[in-house]
Amino acid sequence: MKSMSEKVEHSPKMQTLYELVAELTDLSHIMAVLGWDQQVVMPPGGAEERGLQLAALGKIMHQKFATDEVGQLIADLEAEVGDLYAETDEARSVKVSKKTYEKQAKVPLRLLMENIQATTMAHEAWVKAKAASDFSIFQPHLEKIVDLRKQYADLFKPYDHIYDPLLDDFEPGMKTADVREIFEKLRPQQVALLQEIAKKEPADNAFIKQHYKDEYQELFGRFVISRFGYDWTRGRLDVAPHPFTTEFGLGDVRITTRYLKEDAGSALFGTMHESGHAMYGQGVPEKYKRHPLGGSASLAIHESQSRLWENIVGRSKEFWSFFYPSFQMLFPDYLANVSLSDFYRGINRVEPSYIRVEADEATYNLHIMLRLEIEIGLMEGTIEVADLPEIWNSKMEDYLGITPPNDAKGVLQDVHWSGGMIGYFPTYALGNLASVQLWDKLLEENPNVPDEIAQGKFDTILGWMREHVHQYGSKYEPQEIMLKATGSKLTPEPYIAYLRKKYSEIYDL
């Protein structure tokens, strides 16, 4: 057995691939630093030049990787390793690199550069449009992005659906038809649950819809995620218009949150959510540093981690039996007369709401289904960008029975389209399903976990995720991860059972 310090010998061609990927990883992390800076501290006037800077780096990366020489290297390595699905890191490194190469080699440099510059400018336009609640400011930028995404998808013809190449970028192996099938199973059952809950007296959550002091919210958020296992020697917490997690390497995985005057729950649960993403990034093994397998399995697997810590753990009775006294002490003006049971019911209130990231567990997936319909329509050409505010509001009424009062709480609420991330949204709902499926298996193997949570102990949870999810990096595709961890591919049934059990208890259904 080799020690961790012993250097593994690779063939010359494999070594060449590893060195190339290491350099490309460094460049991608430099781009991530610039992206983080843009969202956290860069003045708005820097957008145009930041776009040029990012495009310059993107050009260098493209010219280093999307070449005939690299294609030949990967072909030679494929012959060398044989079965790309073999369990070795070498075989899987070639498999991952081959897929990345085949996608990138199809993208002309012109389109890549245009996309980077367009999305950089679009982000600043989105920030301005959201602040003014005026979609017209963002509209021309989104029209450009949709056109670029269509051009990108066309590079991968023939496809079953134009949305497939975009979805595959975030959820490898998943097809539009697969997502639609899962959502068709989910929607009627979630709607039925909502209809049952709607007949009951709603839980009071007025205590959380207040302006808690930002500095105390930050203090509590840091306290919680430190207990979870977020490593501050390899991370930090900042503020951004839309919370996100970013990685500059295994030793630097950062999170952001936001503090809302009208809702303390945003930072409270958003910080837990982002820490779940970050602990996944921090959990990738050291051997995969600057390596083809140094990423994650998929965005849905990533989302399973964030939703697990935010909801399954962070909204549980056991969690608050430990943390509520501290939280109550920090905010006595709002919580002195709120019992633990009333607090628990309040933070789990089910109510159709405008904002996805603040949506409760029972309605959240409906927000995603709405976005999927819109994105598919944009790509098919059946929906025009100019009509989005009206279409958004119509679909909100259809799905949730409410109409946003303005663009900021409607079509402009999410940052994703400004970054060209069409195809991303379905992974949120798929991540919800995966989170419960993983949780059920964890509890089966560790039935004392709820008692540990009530004592403020989270080592078992994080350790289990490290062993069954994090340690693999991007070695396995998402369905392989689910099979290895739970014995089953992704399925909606455990999630529906979880929702029904939880909310039947809260609402006495």
68, with CB counted inside 10 A (0-12, 13-18, 19+), is: exposed
How far is Cα 162 from Cα 168, in angstroms, rounded to an integer?
11
Q: How confident is the model at residue 8 (pLDDT cuts 50, 70, 90)?
A: low
Domains 12-106 and 176-507 belong to one CATH topology: no
CB pairs under 8 A, 24+ apart, for 87-92? Answer: 89/287, 89/293, 89/475, 90/10, 90/14, 92/292, 92/293, 92/475, 92/476
Q: Above 50 in pLDDT, residue 112?
A: yes
Tokens representing residue 103 in the block? 């996608």
Catalytic residue among 124, 171, 247, 274: 274
Q: Above 60 in pLDDT, residue 5?
A: no
Mean pLDDT in residue range 297-309? 96
SS3 37: helix
Name the residue among 24, 1, 103 with its Cα closest to residue 290: 24
Give the fold, CATH level 3, of 176-507: Neurolysin; domain 3 (1.10.1370)
pLDDT digits (tens, 9 = 90+) for 228-274: 999 999 999 999 988 999 999 999 999 999 999 989 999 999 999 99
How far is Cα 258 from Cα 92, in angstroms, rounded to an integer?
38
Q: Above 90 in pLDDT, residue 7?
A: no
pLDDT of residue 3: 41
pLDDT digits (tens, 9 = 90+) for 195-222: 999 999 999 999 999 999 999 999 999 9
pLDDT of residue 80: 93
Contact between residue 132 and residue 74 where contact means Cβ atoms under 8 Å apart:
no
pLDDT of residue 6: 45
pLDDT digits (tens, 9 = 90+) for 379-405: 999 999 999 999 999 999 999 999 999
Name the residue among 453, 455, 422, 454 with its Cα closest to residue 439: 453
Percent of the chain clearing pLDDT 70 (strictly above): 98
pLDDT digits (tens, 9 = 90+) for 150-184: 999 999 999 999 999 999 999 998 999 999 999 99
pLDDT of residue 509: 87
Q: Above 50 in pLDDT, residue 300?
A: yes
Percent of the chain clearing pLDDT 90 (strictly above): 94
Contact between residue 312 and residue 279 where contact means Cβ atoms under 8 Å apart:
no
Where do the structural domains in the chain lie, given as residue ranges?
12-106, 176-507
pLDDT of residue 1: 39
pLDDT of residue 2: 41
Q: Is 215 one of the annotated active-site residues of the chain?
A: no
Contact between residue 322 and residue 454 where contact means Cβ atoms under 8 Å apart:
yes
Find the angle CA(3)-CA(7)-CA(9) to the nearest 5 degrees: 125
pLDDT of residue 357: 84
Find the angle CA(118)-CA(107)-CA(82) to the nearest 5 degrees: 140
pLDDT digits (tens, 9 = 90+) for 452-503: 999 999 999 999 999 999 999 999 999 999 999 999 999 999 999 999 999 9
Summary mean pLDDT of the chain = 94
pLDDT of residue 9: 81
Give the helix/strand (H/E) hosting 205.
Answer: none
Name which CATH class applies to 12-106.
mainly alpha
Q: Above 50 in pLDDT, residue 28?
A: yes
How far is Cα 360 from Cα 420, in angstroms, rounded to an integer?
26
Q: Above 60 in pLDDT, residue 304?
A: yes
